[in-house]
Structure 1
Amino acid sequence: MAKQIDPNRDQYDLHAKVLGKTHGTLSMALTVNRQTVFLKYFSKIAVESETAYITERNALKLLGRVGLAPKLTAFSDDDQILIRQYVEGETLRDVVTAETVVCHSRAVGAWLKKCAQRAPSRPGSGNWFEYLTGYPDLRKSSAIGTSQQFLETFEINNFVLSQNTALLRDFVMSGQGPMSVKFARTRMKPAGWDLLLAARALVQLFPEQTDAITKALSDGYSSGTRATSDRYLTLIRLFVLGMVFETGRKVAPPPSHLALEAFNRRRKVKCDAVATSPFLTAKFRPQKKHVIEAFERHVLNLARQVKRSTNPDKLEPKPAPASSSQPPLELGALCRACQGNCCQMGVGKNAFIDRDAVYHVMKANPDKDVLQIAQTYLDFVPKSHVKDSCFFHAKKGCNLPREMRSDTCNRYTCGSAQRLLKTINARPPDGILCIAGTGSNFRKATRTRDGKIQNVPLGRLKIGQAAFRKSSDQTEGDS
C-alpha cells in the first residue's frame, strides 16, 4: 500500500489512524511520508460486501472525473481495498447546530445541484407521484395522496448517479464547502432524490426549524430561480411530511434531551432543563510580545485622549447593565462548559477595549496617570492564553475583572445564551444541565446546584449518547 501511495521511495514512514468501523468496513487515514490518503477496506465475510465495494469503486471512478468525489488513487479488487484522496474537514453531522443548520442546508442544496448537473445521467420518464408511491413508506401517505395532482404534473425528465444516503456523516465540510465522501449505496435516481434525503435527515435533527431548513435547501438547489425553487420546496415538504411527521414516524429526540434523561435517571437531585453550547478546545500558548506591546500602545493612546478632553464627563457612556451586575448563575454554567468560544472574536481587536472602557477605569482610579492606567491592564494579561483566542482568555475564563472589560464583551450573548435566558425568564429552572459540543459529541458538561456551578463527568451522559446513536443509524465518515 505504501508503494502505491508513494512509488518513488524505497523507505517509508507509515502511520495509520482508524476513522470508523462498521460490521463490514474499516476506514482509516493512512499517512506515508507526510502524504495522507483515505483507505477503506471491505470485509469479504460481510454479506453484500463485494457489491458495496464494486459500487463505491465505480462511483469514485465516474464522479472523481468531474470533481464530485475525492480522486481514487489505487484499489485492489482481490483484497477489496480502496485508496482515495483524503478530504480535510469534519462531517456535517458533527458540525451542524441549531444556529448553523439553515446556512448548512443552503450549502448542501447548492452542492447537490452541482452533482445533479455534472454527474452521469440518463433520460427519464414518469412523475414524482408514481415514483414516491412506489415506496412502501409513502404508498399510504396522506400528504402524498392529497397532493397527487401537483406531483403528477412534476415530471421526472432525467435520472442521475446519486449518493442515495440520508446520513449526514457522509458529507464532509471541507474548505470549499460540503462534499460527498461515501458512495457504497450509489444508484441512478431522479434528479433531486438526494435533496429529499438530506431534508429528511436535517429535519429529524431540528424539527422545530422545518420551514427554514426546507426553504434553504430548495433555494440552494434551485440557484435562485423562483419558480423552480417553489416547486422543489413543495416537493421537499411533502416528502418530509410523509417520511417524518405522519403517523408511525418518530423524530429523533435531540441528543441533549437524551443526555438529560440519562443524567436524571440515577440522580436524586435532578435538573429540569438542558442547554447546549459550542465547545472551544483550550490549547494554551505563550503571549506574543509584539501583540502585548501593541495593546499597551493602544491603551496609552486611549488614556491620553481621555486626559486631553476638556470635559471628560461627556465621554461617559450609559452604564451597561451587564457590567454593573453578575450574570445569572445558569449563564455562568453555560459559558464554563463552552470555554469561551465567543472570545475568539477578540483576536486582533485589542480585546475590544475602547475609550469608554478606559474612561471607567480612569474614573475609578483618579490618582493614576496614563502610564499607570496602561499598567493596570497589563497586570491582568496572563503569561499564556487560549490559542487563537483573546490574549486575556486564560484557564478560568477572562482574566480581566468585569468592570474593566469592554461593553462589547459584557453585553454580548451568543445564540445559545439567548435561548437559555429565554428559558430562565419563562420559568426559572431549579437546576440546569449545560452541555457543550456538537450533536452527540459531548465535550464538557456543567450543572447548577445549591447556588453553585459543578462540572459533570461525561460518563454520566453516555447512556444518552448511546440511545441517540442507535436511533439515528450513523456510520463512519472522514474525520
Structure 2
Amino acid sequence: MELMQDKAGVRVKPQGAQWHAVVRSRLAGRLEGIARIVSGRKSGAALEFDLIRYGSTAMSLEVRAGGRRAYLKLFDPAHTDYAYQREKAALCALRESGLVPRILAYADKPRFLLCEWSGAAAEAEGNASLSPTQFAEKLGVWLAELDSVVPSEDACGNWYTYLQQFSGVFDMERIRIARDMLSEIPLCGRAMSRNDTALTSFLNSAEGHLMGCDFERAQMRPRGWDYVLGYIGLIEQFPENTGAVLEAYSAGFSRAHKGALIVEELNVVSRILYTARAMADGRAAQLISWQ
C-alpha cells in the first residue's frame, strides 16, 4: 500500500522551448478550449503558459489568457492514470469547500486538471512568509476543516489492528510494543485522505488561509490519518523547533475540529508512527525525545 511520498525525486527539467513543445504537443486540439475557459470565454484570446514545476508524474503550469490566469496540471501519459484519477476525484469532491483551488475543467485524454489561480502558485514560495508555528497552526485548522467535508464511511476496529497491514513501512516491533495503547484508540470511521507527508503542496491564499494541492495519493483512510501524517511531516521539516510547532498544530486542529476525533489520541498515534517509521528507515539516531 502507498503511504508516503516516494523518493523518486524530480526529473531533469526540459529547457526553454523543449518543455514548451512538450506542453503544446500534449495539449494539441485543446489549447483554444482552455484559453476560452481561462479568459472567461473571450473570443480569440491567446493562451500563454509558464512552467512552475516539473515533477515525476506531472508538470504544473501557470496559464494566461484574456488578462486572466489559472493553474494547469498536465500529467505524464507514460504513467498510469492512478495519480490523475485520485487528484481529479478529490478536487471535484472538494470543489466548493474553499480548501482547495476550485477546479474549472479536466480531461481524461490528455490527462490534465485546470483550476482557479489562488494566491501564490509556487507552493513552497506561497508559505515563505509564514513562521513554522504559524504554518503548523494553519495546517491544523485546514485538516480539521477538511475532515468535516470529505467523503466518509463507517469503519470499526482500532489503530493497532489497522496498522498490521503496513509491515513494509513501519518497524512493526515499535507497533507491537505500543499494542496496549493503540488497541484502546478506536477508529472513528474512514474518510478521504490526502495521504501524504509532504508539506510543500499548500498555498497561502490572499485571504490568509491555506489551500491544499496535490492529491495524487488520495484514498480512503481512518479519520485522523492526515493529522498523523502532518504531525510526522512537521517533525521532519522543523526538527529544531518541534515542541512549539507541534503545540501550534494541535491547537489549530483542536480549535477548528467539530467531530469525534480526540487530538490527544491522535498525538499518541502520531508519536508511535513517527518512531516506527524512523526505525524502519534506519534513522534511529535522528529520533527526538518526547517531553
TM-score interval, normalised by the smaller of the two chains: 0.7 to 0.9
- Structure 2 runs not aligned, ≥5 long: 1-33, 287-291
Answer yes or no: is 1:184 the counterpart of 2:216.
yes
Which residue of structure 2 aligns with residue 237 of structure 1? 271
How do 1:32-431 and structure 2 match up within 5 A? 32-45=65-78, 47-48=79-80, 50-89=81-120, 93-94=124-125, 100-136=131-167, 137-142=169-174, 144-175=175-206, 176-223=208-255, 228-244=262-278, 248-249=282-283
**CA distance in structure 1 between the aligned counterparts of 2:172 and 2:234, rounded to whole angstroms:** 23
Instruction: Pick one of 37, 44, 58 that aligns with 1:4.
Output: 37
State the number of aligned residues. 248
**Over residues 91-135 of structure 1, what are the superposed CA-to-partner deviations in whole Å (9 max), with x where a residue is unaligned?**
6644668x9212211110111010011111111111111222321
**CA distance in structure 2 between the aligned counterparts of 1:192 and 1:43, rounded to whole angstroms:** 31
Alpha carbons of structure 1 residues 198 and 185: separation in structure 2 relative to 1, 3 Å: same
Q: Specify which structure has the higher proportion of helix.
A: 1
> Counterpart of 2:98 in 1: which secondary structure?
coil
**Over residues 413-437 of structure 1, what are the superposed CA-to-partner deviations in whole Å (9 max), with x where a residue is unaligned?**
xxxxxxxxxxxxxxxxxxxxxxxxx
Cα deviation, residue 234, structure 1 = 2.1
Instruction: Pick one of 26, 37, 49 that aligns with 2:59.
Output: 26
- Amino acid of the structure 1 residue aligned with 2:237: L
**CA distance in structure 2 between the aligned counterparts of 1:145 and 1:90, rounded to whole angstroms:** 43
**CA distance in structure 2 between the aligned counterparts of 1:29 and 1:218, rounded to whole angstroms:** 34
Alpha carbons of structure 1 residues 213 and 236: separation in structure 2 relative to 1, 3 Å: farther
8 A contact 1:214–1:233 mirrored in 2: no
> Counterpart of 2:52 in 1: which secondary structure?
strand
**CA distance in structure 2 between the aligned counterparts of 1:54 and 1:220, rounded to whole angstroms:** 31
RMSD (Å), alpha carbons: 2.7
Moved more, 203-212 or 35-44: 203-212
**CA distance in structure 1 between the aligned counterparts of 2:119 and 2:132, rounded to whole angstroms:** 21
**CA distance in structure 1 between the aligned counterparts of 2:124 and 2:224, rounded to whole angstroms:** 21
**CA distance in structure 2 between the aligned counterparts of 1:80 and 1:224, rounded to whole angstroms:** 35
> Counterpart of 2:43 in 1: which secondary structure?
coil
**CA distance in structure 2 between the aligned counterparts of 1:96 and 1:58, rounded to whole angstroms:** 26
Cα deviation, residue 224, structure 1 = 7.7
Alpha carbons of structure 1 residues 222 and 7: separation in structure 2 relative to 1, 3 Å: closer
> Counterpart of 2:64 in 1: which secondary structure?
strand
> Counterpart of 2:94 in 1: which secondary structure?
helix
Alpha carbons of structure 1 residues 92 and 168: separation in structure 2 relative to 1, 3 Å: farther
- Structure 1 runs not aligned, ≥5 long: 253-479
Which residue of structure 2 aligns with residue 358 of structure 1? none
**CA distance in structure 2 between the aligned counterparts of 1:232 and 1:219, rounded to whole angstroms:** 13
Alpha carbons of structure 1 residues 95 and 172: separation in structure 2 relative to 1, 3 Å: closer
- Amino acid of the structure 2 residue aligned with 1:148: R
Cα deviation, residue 78, structure 1 = 1.8
**Over residues 292-326 of structure 1, what are the superposed CA-to-partner deviations in whole Å (9 max), with x where a residue is unaligned?**
xxxxxxxxxxxxxxxxxxxxxxxxxxxxxxxxxxx
- Amino acid of the structure 2 residue aligned with 1:155: P
> Counterpart of 2:42 in 1: which secondary structure?
coil
Cα deviation, residue 236, structure 1 = 2.0
Alpha carbons of structure 1 residues 24 and 246: separation in structure 2 relative to 1, 3 Å: closer
Alpha carbons of structure 1 residues 91 and 19: separation in structure 2 relative to 1, 3 Å: closer
- Amino acid of the structure 2 residue aligned with 1:223: R
8 A contact 2:86–2:216 mirrored in 1: yes
Segments of 4+ moved more than 6 angstroms: none
Alpha carbons of structure 1 residues 210 and 111: separation in structure 2 relative to 1, 3 Å: same
Cα deviation, residue 250, structure 1 = 6.8
Alpha carbons of structure 1 residues 237 and 117: separation in structure 2 relative to 1, 3 Å: same
> Counterpart of 1:8 in 2: which secondary structure?
coil
**CA distance in structure 2 between the aligned counterparts of 1:113 and 1:56, rounded to whole angstroms:** 20
> Counterpart of 2:143 in 1: which secondary structure?
helix
Higher gyration radius (CA)? 1
TM-score by length of 2: 0.76
**CA distance in structure 2 between the aligned counterparts of 1:222 and 1:190, rounded to whole angstroms:** 18
8 A contact 1:204–1:244 mirrored in 2: no
8 A contact 2:42–2:66 mirrored in 1: no
8 A contact 2:94–2:100 mirrored in 1: yes
